[in-house]
Amino acid sequence: MAERRFLVVRLGSLGDIVHTFPAVAALRDSFPGSEIVWLTHARYKLLVQTSGLASKIWTTDTREITSVMTTIREIRAASFDTAIDYQGLWKSASLPFLGGVKRRIGFSPEAVREFGVPLLYTDRVRATSAHVADQNGELSKRAGAQTPVANFYLDPPPLQREELFKVLPTDAMKNYIVLSPGGGWRSKCWPPERFGALCKKIFQSLSFRCLINYGPGEEDLASKVRDASGDADPVAFNGELGPLMALLSSAVCVVAGDTGPLHLAVALGTPVVALFGPTNPARNGPYRNPTSSPSAAQSANRQDDRDIVLRAPNVVTTHSRQDHRHPSMIEIQVETVFEAVRRILEARN
C-alpha cells in the first residue's frame, strides 16, 4: 500500500497554529511513514519547525499574486492525495483547490467565517467538539487518523545567556513573570493600567520582576503598563518569535488574554493565568496535550494543575472584532488576578 501524501493548510495566526498542532500530531502518529507538508506564512515557519510534525514546510504570502501562483504550481507538482484546510478561509481553501488536490477536507458552513468556502471542499466536516483544537482533530479523523488529537512537544530555540542579558536584568533572569497586555482585538484586552497595577503588586508582595511582552503597534499598551507599574520597573520586550518562545518557556507564569502568546506559553508547558471576556474559554481556552491534563478544554474559572482561567459570570460570547474594550474585561479585578498568580506560584513550590 502506497504511503499517503498530506497537504496541511494553516497559514496563521500564532494561537491558531498552536491549536492545530494536536490534530496534525494525530496525523503524524497514524501515518508515521507518510509525507506531511505544512503550508503556512513565512513568519510562522519557525513555530511549525519547533513542533517537528511536518516533513516539509512551505511558505506563501496570499497578498502577493506571484507567491500564490508559485504555491499553486508546487501543489500541482507534488501530487498530494489529501489536503486538510484547518483555517476555513477563501485564501486557505483556494490553494489546494486550484492546486488540483483530489480530496480536500474542511469544515462545513456552520463552522466557517466566510460564506461559501466549503464549496471548495470534497469532504465537509460538521464539527461537534467544544474546543477549536478538538474541532481541528475532527478534520484529521476524517482524513483517516486513528485519533482526533495526539500529544506534541515544542522544542524552542535556545536563548543564549548573552542574548538573555540583553533582555533581562541580572536579578530577573531566574524568576520572572510575563505579562502580555495586547491581543488581535482590543475588545479582548484587559486594561493596561491594571496590568501595571498587577506588576507593582507582584513585585511588592512576591518579589518577582515582570516582563511586558508586546507586539507591533502595541507600544502604547507597553508604555501604559510601565507608567502604572511604579517602582516595579518591568522589562519591556518586543522581539522575534524565537526569543519569545525561549522567554515564555523559562517564565514562572504568564498572564494574558485570549491571544497568541498565551496559547504558545501553554504549548511550551508554562503555567498561565488566562483573562477571558467576549470569547469563550470552552472553545478558545488553554489546551494542554490530551494525555497530560484532566481536561483538554478548560472551562471558565476552572483551575487544573497549571492553568487558571478567569472570566466574569454571565458573559455573552461574541467573536465580533471590536476596537473598544469589552465590558466583561473590566469586571476582572487586579486582586483576583494577583491571587491567581499567587496560587500558581504556591503550586510550583
Mean pLDDT per 10-residue section of the chain, whose length is 349 residues: 86 96 97 97 96 97 97 97 97 98 97 94 97 97 97 84 66 81 86 97 95 92 95 91 90 95 96 95 91 42 68 86 85 97 90
- Please give the model's pTM, rounded to 2 decimal places: 0.92
If you search the block for the grid coordinates 508586546, which residue do you land on? 214
pLDDT for res 322: 74
Helix/strand/coil for 204:
helix
Question: So what's the pLDDT on residue 301?
Answer: 34
pLDDT at 38: 98
pLDDT for residue 36: 98
pLDDT, one tens digit per residue, over 220-230 is 999 999 999 99
Q: Which amino acid is at 255?
A: V
Strand ordering across the sheet containing 82-85: 56-59, 35-40, 5-9, 82-85, 103-107, 123-125
Q: What is the sign of the dihedral through the CA atoms of 209, 214, 218 and 219?
A: positive
49: exposed, middle or buried (C-beta count within 10 Å: 0-12, 13-18, 19+)? middle
pLDDT, tens digit, 9 for 90 and up, residues 25-44: 999 999 999 999 999 999 99
State how far the Cα of 311 lies from the Cα of 299, in Å rounded to an integer. 10
Quick one: cell of 177?
Answer: 513573570
Model pLDDT, residue 341: 97
Q: Cβ(208)–Cβ(222) under 8 Å?
A: no
Judging by DSSP bridges, how do beta strands 209-213 and 176-180 pair with one another?
A: parallel
According to the model, what pLDDT value does residue 17 have?
Answer: 98
Q: Closest Cα to residue 295, out of 192, 286, 13?
A: 286
